[in-house]
Amino acid sequence: MQYWLIKSEPDVWSIDQQKKAGAKGAPWDGVRNYQAAKNLKSMKKGDLCFFYHSNIGKKIVGIVEVIKEAYLDKTDKSGRFVAVTVKFLEKLSKPITLESIKKSKELGHLALIKQSRLSVMPIDSKSWKILNKMSKV
């Protein structure tokens, strides 16, 4: 299993909308950055993703699971980009702010800090555990 962080603007697609999508999940589409698209292609069924609200809020707000691996993104007329389907698992009782992530020396290497514009990024297992602990404090 691998871990990821996926970003969405909450006024476009929020954790609450993801929750309402239920067990069938929802496509994670509209990704047009080649590096982010490559990350989508690497996702496997069962992988877990932190759900991050970008622009408004700037915090990890929940966890979703990949339930369908990469397929052609129906919103892409060029046929070059892919989507995956993710389903809601949980909403964090204590969201993890970008500010608190930046303050942690152990998380300074994350793409969330180094490549802030990237919308789909891997998270190593050690960082996944640290972030999970931060959400339960």
Query: Which CATH code is given to the segment(s) 3-123?
Result: 3.10.590.10
At 137, the pLDDT band (50, 70, 90 cuts) reads low
Q: Is 134 in a helix, a strand, or coil?
A: helix
pLDDT per residue as tens digits for the range 83-104 = 999 999 999 999 999 999 999 9
What's the pLDDT score for residue 26?
A: 98
Residue 54 CB contacts under 8 Å (≥ 6 apart), including other chains: 7, 8, 9, 119
Residue 54 has pLDDT above 70, yes or no: yes
How large is the average pLDDT for residues 7-25?
Answer: 97
pLDDT per residue as tens digits for the range 98-123 = 999 999 999 999 999 999 899 999 99
Average pLDDT of the chain, as a whole number: 96
| pTM, to two decimals | 0.96
The per-residue b/e assignment along 39-72, b for 16 or more CB within 10 angstroms, e otherwise, is: bbeebeeebbbbbbbbeebbbbbbbbbbbbbbee
What's the pLDDT score for residue 135?
A: 95
Per-domain boundaries in the chain: 3-123
**What is the H or E stretch that residue 111 is in?**
helix 111-114
